[in-house]
Structure 1
């Protein structure tokens, strides 16, 4: 993989690149530093943030509750929100939220003039629970009528996490651990506080700076993304997902529901899909984070790139995917 080494050198890539086929590693290499202040190198076992990459995990939690009959795709958000978030339209359903067609206002609106280095949220240290997001999301007007079009919405996946909590009586983080991480044997994946990262986790750095992203993201990841993982665990995830170990009806989850021409992609239920073939994609981008992991179920090939900078993953991801 001389091209990967070349691109890594040219771009100053910091992160991990992994390609495996049916569980056999074809390429895996770490580059750059997990902690610049202490000159700690990245390794294949380093845990990286995933930003929106873990929206797929939120989707699987919700769909597991649908499978059990506690929710349905037609369940309205209002039926569980009660008086909370009154600007969420009464006809917004679980399916609208899962497919980014709810039209609800977004606390982090990526359709606007947004840059990863921006400070977007005020008191990030308060965002340790799903309920804590309610004041942040309240008062944001609806953008369009439910079902009218695709409009990428981070807040919609926080709402999904909240609905899952309310119908199950279990906190979102524990739901993900029990319903996704455990059945997938993802032992190196978890929700890590940004202000007390363990030694095996990469610090996320702002683009062009040696400054960390600790004041830029919710201090503890929630339904719209941010869990920490490794390349090896992502391979575990895809194998377990397509084996039906997490939820059944995998084909229905990855059935294309929407074309998203502005991204040259399609969308299923919480998962990006390749524009023309059956490759399934999880991806994320935020301050100090870039992540992309794809799986081709026909060849059982997983390609994962994780980086602790916002622009880091993309040149290599384009080359290998």
Structure 2
């Protein structure tokens, strides 16, 4: 009798545990089982609701196998004149620019004009501690270079030559390769190196070696050249841009559309602008970006293959400037791509939104903790 009661007690505990586990599974993970219809309809229903909840203003594109399965504009490109965001609306892509710079460096390495292992002293003669800093250190935000935003008036134009004259005198913040510290300045130095070894301005280089081969006909480096440019807002209040575009050369100055960004991503993963070996090199994580090791940083991309990416290889990058926020996420083995371009920089998390959209394509749960990264 006592054994029977012990068994019943143990069985009850197991049942309770299973009930709690199933409840937690349902509460803390979201499969979006309430969404009906095909993938396009489910993505639309989810995004329509999310746009209202987060006051999303911009354009979203979701692709499988390099082809768009969902794309839609939300809110206004110009709120004052009631001009809606459409698929051809152009946005600042901010730090998504960095991957273009990384692609350029890898192309120039293929041509034998540089090596990512080279010290930058090979290309900039008088740079302080330039023999300690490699091109890879700049690519992975581990160079230790000072932040030029603290050294110059960013509202005024600056040439890359003047920028280098300013930076070559500065001391390092830490020994290169020992620490991750996000740096727009490092990518501006890379833009200078691109010009030095290619003999072209970095803008011309991007145009000839990335934009044109990828078929990106609505992508520019100056606001004045864009004909469908969106106004920038913060919580839907218009933002006055103050920093000059030249202060983010090669680091955050590209203007593009969701369609062109898909063409760009396809050009990378169809090996149109990089070889397979170069793509692997770019999408390898070299240094932890945070203390939890959730993401590593490659060349112009954050890289993950863990719980945050549903146990799948993934690259992603966000971008943020006054009035603009963006994200590109690509599950490289599944070829699921999400591109989010917004002209309303608020508190919403662009990475979490993009990964949750991807979870609908992947048929996996989006867990509560994933919204914080």
Greater Rg by CA: 2
Tell me the secondary structure at the aligned position of residue 272 of structure 2. coil
Report deviation, 1:138: 5.5
Partner residue, 1:301: 336
Kindly indicate which of the two structures has a greater share of residues assigned to helix.
2
Q: Report which stretch shifted further, 263-272 or 295-304.
A: 263-272
Q: 1:185 to 1:71 in 2, by over 3 A?
A: same
Residues 66-85 of structure 1: pairs in structure 2 closer than 5 A: 66-83=109-126
Partner residue, 2:362: none
CA contact (8 A) 1:290 1:308 kept: yes
State the distance in 2 between where 1:320 and 1:300 align: 14
| Number of aligned residue pairs | 305
Q: Does 1:256 align with 2:297?
A: no
Q: 1:95 to 1:23 in 2, by over 3 A?
A: closer
Q: Does 1:319 align with 2:351?
A: no
Structure 1, unmatched stretches of 5+, are 110-119
Residues 119-198 of structure 1: pairs in structure 2 closer than 5 A: 122-127=153-158, 129-134=159-164, 137=167, 139-193=169-223, 196=224, 198=226
Partner residue, 1:24: 67
Using structure 2 for the length normalisation, give the TM-score: 0.75
Structure 2, unmatched stretches of 5+, are 1-42, 307-311, 359-373
Q: Report which stretch shifted further, 247-256 or 305-314.
A: 305-314
Deviation track 1:238-266 (CA, whole Å, cap 9, x = no partner) reads 11101211121211221222222347211
Q: Report which stretch shifted further, 203-212 or 28-37.
A: 203-212
Q: Which runs of 4+ in 1 moved over 4 A?
A: none
Report deviation, 1:297: 2.3
State the distance in 1 between where 2:225 and 2:213 align: 25
CA contact (8 A) 1:217 1:287 kept: no
Partner residue, 1:7: 50
Report deviation, 1:217: 4.6
Q: 1:242 to 1:46 in 2, by over 3 A?
A: same
Report deviation, 1:275: 4.4
CA contact (8 A) 2:139 2:187 kept: yes
Using structure 1 for the length normalisation, give the TM-score: 0.87
Relative contact order higher in (CA < 8 Å, ≥ 6 apart): 1
Tell me the secondary structure at the aligned position of residue 27 of structure 1. strand
